Chain A
Amino acid sequence: EAGVTQFPSHSVIEKGQTVTLRCDPISGHDNLYWYRRVMGKEIKFLLHFVKESKQDESGMPNNRFLAERTGGTYSTLKVQPAELEDSGVYFCASSHGGELFFGEGSRLTVL
C-alpha cells in the first residue's frame, strides 16, 4: 500500500512568486493534515481536512496560504505571494481516525 506522498520534495522560488505543494494521502483516509516546520523550530499545525471540508484551519498563518482538497482526495497548499519567512518544510499527514501517517515533506526555500 502506498504511503502519503508529497510533491515537490524541494522547491526554490523567489520572494513574490507562487508555489503549490501537493499531498496525496493514503487511499481511504478521510483526515488530512498540513504541518510546517520552520528551521530549528517546532512542527506547527496548519490545518485539518475531513474529506473535502476544512475542519480546522486555525494554524494557517495568513491569507497568502490557500489549501484545497478536491473531491476529498489529494490536497494542495498554495502560497501566493511567497515571503522569506515561508521557508521551511511542509508536512502532510493522513489518518482514518487513528494513527497519523506522514509524508516525507516538501522543503520550500524562498530567496
Chain B
Amino acid sequence: AQTVTQSQPEMSVQEAETVTLSCTYDTSESDYYLFWYKQPPSRQMILVIRQEAYKQQNATENRFSVNFQKAAKSFSLKISDSQLGDAAMYFCAYRTPNFGNEKLTFGTGTRLTIIP
C-alpha cells in the first residue's frame, strides 16, 4: 500500500522569506501523480501544485515549486517570497494514474505560519 509521510507538523517563516515543506512517499508503482494541497483556516482545500512521476522536470506555479526526487521518493514544496495568505495547512498527496479514479493518499499535513 502507498504511504505518504510529512515529518514537519508545524513550520514558520518570515514574510517574504522562503520555506520548504518536506514530503516522502512509498510506492512500488513507476507511474503516479503527486500533489500539494493547501487548506486555509475554515476554507476549502485547494490544489497548489501537481507533479507527474514520468516527468523529470520539477513543476512550478508562480511562487510555488517542487523538488521531485523519484529515486529517493521525495517531493518537497518550496514557497518563495512567503505572503500572509500562504498561512494554511499543507497536505502532500499521492495517487495512481487511473482515469476516473482520483482516490488520494494523504500525509498528516504541515501547518505553516507566516510571521509578519
Contact = CB atoms under 8 A, between A and B. Distances in A.
B36 interface: no
A45 interface: yes
Contact of A103 (B44, B102, B104): B44
Interface residues of A, number: 27
Contacts, number: 51
A102 B102 contact: no
Interface in A28-69: 31, 33, 35, 40-45, 48, 50, 55-56
Interface string B94-106: 0000011111111
B45 interface: yes
Interface in B38-63: 42-47
Nearest to B108: A42
Nearest to A9: B42
Contacts of A35: 104, 106
B102 A31 contact: yes
Given A33-B103, A95-B102, A104 B43 contact: yes
Nearest to A98: B102
Given A31-B100, A42-B4, A56-B101, A100 B47 contact: yes
Interface residues of B, number: 21
Contacts of B100: 31, 50, 97
Nearest to B47: A99
B106 A43 contact: yes
Interface string B5-46: 000010000000000000000000000000001000011111
Given A45-B103, A50-B100, A56-B103, A3 B47 contact: no
A90 interface: no
B45 A55 contact: no
Interface of B: 4, 9, 37, 42-47, 91, 99-109
Interface of A: 3-4, 31, 33, 35, 40-45, 48, 50, 55-56, 91, 93, 95, 97-105
11 contacts: A40-B9, A42-B4, A42-B106, A45-B105, A50-B100, A55-B101, A95-B102, A99-B102, A102-B44, A102-B45, A103-B44
